């Protein structure tokens, strides 16, 4: 069955200094279709959808929306033409209510009562429960995304673009999202869907365009292919298989006991009596819904938050009161989740970004002076070893695609040979091939005798990587259990009671 194309790209091209981000890209999305855009990190997916949404102007080619030329000068023009977009990062004001946030994004918002009524109707029609009077600060990640989606639905879009929408969602929230998207598609809307989760694409998308190095290399019905085959199309070769062998748990490296901290901010989570031991050669997985103390635990380990004496002990060394610099020297390193802003300074070059964490262990600062050549060499080493796709170490962090910056941030820590490495969401936004490489690097690090703590919302990732698993729930850490033999149901129970785990209501 062929359906009318809602959107068509014909020969679209876009260059950045040193990079052909899109090259002769042509594809179309039919009415009622959920169409996936697949590709490795840096393949050009975001650049393409930014052009459709009026954030970036193409250098070549043309776009058509409902058969009419589509050349939006800005997002407002794109929205007026019928394009809506839900971004990876939410742009909501915490202090305002749902309705106030939605009104801010509208050209001509109706009176407040009418708007609240329209929000209730759309949320009811699409099975997306949301109270217009709630303050955004009280909402879970899934509920925040619903605000963005309802804002889009109120525009009655012809084309809805979703950029990695499920990376912050619980499995239940993701199911709810797909049910909504299917309803919307059934009403004739075309949906363009970017995700690195290949199983999700196989289950929910009707068609796919695959980009590699800015070019369309394939198109397919993802249901006809295995996740492995899709990944092979993206990278143009076979995926490598993860090697878990050769690791033996050794002596205790890190011991946390009675680690309690008040919530660092009004929206933060207090840590309550956290205890764990981490052995040499071991990977400990910590699962849980975001907002249950993950960021606070990472900060308590990195030294950004200090704790009482005796609560954080690395190889007999009491680090509870020590700051980040002392901890790094001792070999306790951490890579936070927020790569642009927290883990890396956007306007700094990659070379400068190595100095943020690698100074003490790589000798990049001597007698108070920065050794620029050494920093550049280290940045080059990370780029090479972690296959970071970028013109070079002089490139600003903000110019890297999300996944490539993530590889750089993880590589910068792994290549300092830590005794203990703590990572939060290590493969967030990273494509399947690069995710396998990042996970392998963590396994290799553990094989070399280091201890690794992986905090993640991706249960498959935790099952694949970790020797023992525990759950973080409202600032409390469960007792760890060996991962081998643990079922998803049992993990669900360990995570039980975590807020935001709403059951689909459709």
Ligand X SMILES: Nc1ncnc2c1ncn2[C@@H]1O[C@H](COP(=O)(O)OP(=O)(O)OP(=O)(O)O)[C@@H](O)[C@H]1O
Q: Which residues bind ligand X (CB under 6 A)?
A: 16, 19, 21, 39, 41-47, 389, 399-404, 429, 431
> Residue 434 CB, nearest distance to ligand X (Å)?
8
> Residue 399 CB, nearest distance to ligand X (Å)?
4
Helix and strand tally (H, E) in the chain? 16, 23
Tell me whether residue 461 or residue 467 sits nearer to ligand X (CB atom): 461
Listed in sequence order, the residues at least 6 apart from 379 whose beta carbon sits closer than 8 Å to its beta carbon are: 349, 350, 351, 353, 354, 393
> Residue 355 CB, nearest distance to ligand X (Å)?
21
> Residue 405 CB, nearest distance to ligand X (Å)?
8
Tell me whether residue 44 or residue 320 sits nearer to ligand X (CB atom): 44
Nearest Cα to Cα of residue 150 among 66, 65, 72, 92: 92
> Residue 42 CB, nearest distance to ligand X (Å)?
4
Tell me whether residue 123 or residue 209 sits nearer to ligand X (CB atom): 209
- How far apart CA 48 and CA 420 sit, in angstroms, is 39
Nearest Cα to Cα of residue 414 among 425, 403, 426, 398: 426
Under a CB-based contact definition with an 8 Å cutoff, are residues 440 and 242 in contact?
yes
Pairing mode of beta strands 34-39, 207-212: parallel
Exposure of 246 by Cβ count < 10 A (0-12 exposed, 13-18 middle, 19+ buried)?
A: exposed
> Residue 217 CB, nearest distance to ligand X (Å)?
13
The alpha carbon of residue 485 and the mean position of all alpha carbons in its chain are separated, in whole angstroms, by: 28
- How far apart CA 223 and CA 36 sit, in angstroms, is 11
Tell me whether residue 44 or residue 281 sits nearer to ligand X (CB atom): 44
- How far apart CA 483 and CA 147 sit, in angstroms, is 36
User: What does the longest C-alpha to C-alpha distance in the chain come to?
Assistant: 71
Tell me whether residue 21 or residue 283 sits nearer to ligand X (CB atom): 21
Q: Which residues are bridge partners to 208 per DSSP?
A: 36, 220
Sheet harboring 83-86: ordered strands across?
A: 83-86, 159-163, 190-194, 34-39, 207-212, 215-220
- How far apart CA 475 and CA 139 sit, in angstroms, is 17
The span from the first CA to the last CA of the chain, in angstroms, equals 28
> Residue 322 CB, nearest distance to ligand X (Å)?
35
> Residue 391 CB, nearest distance to ligand X (Å)?
8
- How far apart CA 241 and CA 356 sit, in angstroms, is 33
Tell me whether residue 306 or residue 389 sits nearer to ligand X (CB atom): 389
DSSP 348: S
The percent of the chain in helix, strand and coil, each rounded to the nearest 5, is 35, 25, 40
> Residue 57 CB, nearest distance to ligand X (Å)?
12
- How far apart CA 62 and CA 331 sit, in angstroms, is 53
- How far apart CA 362 and CA 392 sit, in angstroms, is 20
> Residue 445 CB, nearest distance to ligand X (Å)?
23
> Residue 197 CB, nearest distance to ligand X (Å)?
12
């Amino acid at each position: 069955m062929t359906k009318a194309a809602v959107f068509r790209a014909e020969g679209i091209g876009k260059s950045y200094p040193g990079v052909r981000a899109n090259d002769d890209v042509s594809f179309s999305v039919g009415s009622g279709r959920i169409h996936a855009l697949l590709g490795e990190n840096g393949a050009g997916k975001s650049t393409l959808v930014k052009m459709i949404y009026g954030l970036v102007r193409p250098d070549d080619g043309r776009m058509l929306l409902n058969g009419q030329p589509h050349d939006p000068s800005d997002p407002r023009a794109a929205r007026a033409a019928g394009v809506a977009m839900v971004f990876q990062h939410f742009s909501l004001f915490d202090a305002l209510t749902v309705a106030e946030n939605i009104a801010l994004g509208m050209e001509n918002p109706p009176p407040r009562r009418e708007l609240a009524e329209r929000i209730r109707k759309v949320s009811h029609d699409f099975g997306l429960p949301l109270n217009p009077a709630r303050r955004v600060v009280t909402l879970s990640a899934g509920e925040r995304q619903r605000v963005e989606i309802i804002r889009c639905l109120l525009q009655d879009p012809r084309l809805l673009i979703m950029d990695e929408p499920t990376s912050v969602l619980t499995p239940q929230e993701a199911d709810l999202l797909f049910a909504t998207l299917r309803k919307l598609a059934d009403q004739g809307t075309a949906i363009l869907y970017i995700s690195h989760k290949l199983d999700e694409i196989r289950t929910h998308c009707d068609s796919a365009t695959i980009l590699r190095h800015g070019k369309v290399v394939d198109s397919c019905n993802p249901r006809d292919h295995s996740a492995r085959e899709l990944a092979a199309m993206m990278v143009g070769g076979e995926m490598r298989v993860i090697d878990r062998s050769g690791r033996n748990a050794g002596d205790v490296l890190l011991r946390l006991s009675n680690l309690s901290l008040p919530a660092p901010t009004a929206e933060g989570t207090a840590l309550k009596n956290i205890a764990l031991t981490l052995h040499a050669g071991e990977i400990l997985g910590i699962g849980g819904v975001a907002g249950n103390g993950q960021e606070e635990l990472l900060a308590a380990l990195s030294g950004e938050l200090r704790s009482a004496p005796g609560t954080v002990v690395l190889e007999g060394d009491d680090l509870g009161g020590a700051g980040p610099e002392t901890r790094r020297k001792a070999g306790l390193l951490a890579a936070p989740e927020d790569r642009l802003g927290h883990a890396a300074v956007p306007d700094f070059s990659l070379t400068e970004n190595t100095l943020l964490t690698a100074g003490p262990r790589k000798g990049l600062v001597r007698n108070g002076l920065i050794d620029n050549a050494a920093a550049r060499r280290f940045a080059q080493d990370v780029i090479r070893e972690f296959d970071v796709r970028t013109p070079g170490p002089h490139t600003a962090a903000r110019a890297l695609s999300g996944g490539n910056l993530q590889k750089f941030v993880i590589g910068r820590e792994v290549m300092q040979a830590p005794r203990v490495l703590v990572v939060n969401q290590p493969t967030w936004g990273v494509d399947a091939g690069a995710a396998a490489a990042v996970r392998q690097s963590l396994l290799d690090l553990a094989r070399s005798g280091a201890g690794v703590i992986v905090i993640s919302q991706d249960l498959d990732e935790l099952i694949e990587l970790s020797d023992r698993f525990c759950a973080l729930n409202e600032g409390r850490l469960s007792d760890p259990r060996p991962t081998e033999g643990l079922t998803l149901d049992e993990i669900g129970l360990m995570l039980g009671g975590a807020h935001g785990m709403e059951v689909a209501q459709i």
